[in-house]
Amino acid sequence: MKKGKRSEALDVKRKNRRKWIKTWIQLFLVIMVIFLIYQAVARTDRYAEPDKSTWHNRSGFVALSYFGVSRTGTPLLIDKAQLKAQLQTLHDQGYVTVSQKDILDFYQKGKALPDKALFFVL
């Protein structure tokens, strides 16, 4: 060892700086994992039930079915971005999604559906 040059093993400031950086990186990762778990378990956005008193359609509905969804899309499966764009287009044109219970009530009890009723099956 040369005179005046300290060993890296004895450089306490450097070790403490590395520990500090590692601690903050680990803290950031833990916070991100907690956030992702929270988003998966306790999503804050909930489905808003439409006002069914304004529904007057007694002639039928449109049923839309997809074989499946994939991330990138294949000849058989639609990709997520394309599905989102198509659903947004239908929403912009005034289509309102209805549930399976609404369809059963339409057929069995004669209840009305929205003017542009859309039954979506995936």
pLDDT at 5 over 90: no
Q: Tens of pLDDT along 61-82?
A: 989 888 888 888 788 888 888 9
Contacts of residue 73, defined as CB under 8 A and 6 or more positions apart, other chains included, come to: 79, 82
pTM above 0.85, yes or no: no
45 by DSSP, 3-state: which?
coil
Domain ranges across the chain: 11-41, 56-121
Count of CA atoms in the C-beta half-sphere (13 A) of 72: 1
Q: Token digits for 32? A: 């991100």
Degrees, nearest 5: CA angle 70-117-89: 50
